Amino acid sequence: METFEFLAPCHFGLEAVLKREIQDLGYDVSLVEDGRVTFIGDMDALCRANIFLRTAERVMLQVGRFKAETFDELFEGIKAIPWERYIPVDGKFWVTKATSVKSKLFSPSDIQSIVKKAMVERLKTKYNVAWFSEDGASYPIRITFLKDEAVVGLDTSGVSLHKRGYRRLTSKAPITETLASALIMLTPWKGDRILVDPFCGCGTFPIEAAMMAAHIAPGMNREFVAEDWKNLIPRKLWYNAVEEANDLIQDDIETDIQGYDIDPDMVKAARENAREAGVDHLIHFQARPVAELRHPKKYGFVITNPPYGERLEEKEALPALYREIGEAYNRLDDWSMYLITGYEDAERYLGRKAAKNRKIYNGMLKTYFYQFPGPKPPRRPRQDV
């Protein structure tokens, strides 16, 4: 079967997590760059990547990569791409996003305009038509410039992959589903271990953890723009990928995943979101402040996204709040804690230095993932058969 190069963007600092995910799906990674991973696969890979990848923001079919320092070079580079191979005569095509970093061409609107003109020029010649109705399937294009190199991709996902479809209700500053998944994957947590999020908000950490524990693919209950690309992808490939995802689900397992929040309305929203995700039976949500965080068992995990005070009046409350977090963690016997925050003085008020501190960009916001790993539980004795 014919193979293609696919681009999967992700949060800056989490490329290694996405690379591992892609390799676990069985595909070869050809390039890892800041904020994106390129891999090789057939059209089956396109469907499976959209449905199974937890940490990618979207999946793009790479159609061109070339250097362009002038608009003439951009025009010729785009025109040289065999667009007729991807877009049918009635296809709707437009540049949905253009970004530029450290490049001579930096105006997104001008880049978008030139790309569209060059595409029209090429397709007019190939299809021998003067104009396009564009009333068929959608083929959105994304182009990124970095140091004058243009990377052109067809967006196969449409709506960003962090929108799993379950989160109808959100908190004031929710963590995205893709980022939550990636952070959980950076910890040694597995589905048979205890996990508590004392600042669960709309429930993203507990829900993503429960979906992992039950092997529920993140994209199996949503739609993708490439489902309509019947000229490129046989419908059967999408059915096969969803069938594979259904076969893997194990939602009759036992878990100890808990989410607390001081706001009862947020707890109610989290329960509703968990129900939409099909994992409400795997999570215990409760209205409870972090000061009341307790658990009788050892070797659990706290994975959380506490407030970090974007407004001045909130900032004043942070020292006391982070002291409470530190005191609550001290009461937990042999637990691990993993905490993402933009609060620079977190370690000071938690009362301990993190074993690791990973810088992660949450959008344009610089945050830190503080890691306090606890001891590993003793190995269970082997059962003689």
For 314-344, the pLDDT digits (tens) are: 788 999 999 999 999 999 999 999 999 999 9
The answer on pLDDT for 382 being more than 70 is no
Task: Report the DSSP beta bridge partners of residue 286.
Answer: 260
How do beta strands 60-67 and 4-9 pair? antiparallel
Pick the CATH number of 4-155 from 3.40.50.1360, 3.40.50.11540, 3.20.20.140, 3.30.2130.30: 3.30.2130.30
- Strand ranges of the sheet holding 257-261, from the earlier edge strand across to the other edge: 283-287, 257-261, 195-197, 301-304, 336-341, 365-372, 356-362
Tens of pLDDT, residue by residue over 80-89, are 999 999 999 9
Instruction: Write down the domain spans for the chain.
Output: 4-155, 177-216+225-372
d(CA 227, CA 208): 25
The answer on pLDDT for 380 being more than 80 is no
CB 186 within 8 A of CB 130: no
d(CA 206, CA 191): 11
How do beta strands 149-155 and 138-146 pair? antiparallel
Q: Could you check whether 4-155 and 177-216+225-372 share the same CATH topology? A: no
d(CA 49, CA 155): 13
Nearest to 127 by CA among 83, 171, 170, 162: 83
pTM: 0.95
Task: Report the DSSP beta bridge partners of residue 153.
Answer: 62, 142
Q: Nearest 5 degrees, angle CA 180-CA 186-CA 189?
A: 90
The answer on pLDDT for 128 being more than 80 is yes
Mean pLDDT of 91-120: 97
Q: What is the pLDDT of residue 310?
A: 65
- Band (pLDDT 50/70/90 cuts) for residue 171 is low
Query: Which CATH superfamily, name and number, covers 177-216+225-372?
Result: Vaccinia Virus protein VP39 (3.40.50.150)
d(CA 335, CA 322): 17
Tens of pLDDT, residue by residue over 198-236, are 999 999 999 999 999 999 999 998 999 999 999 999 999
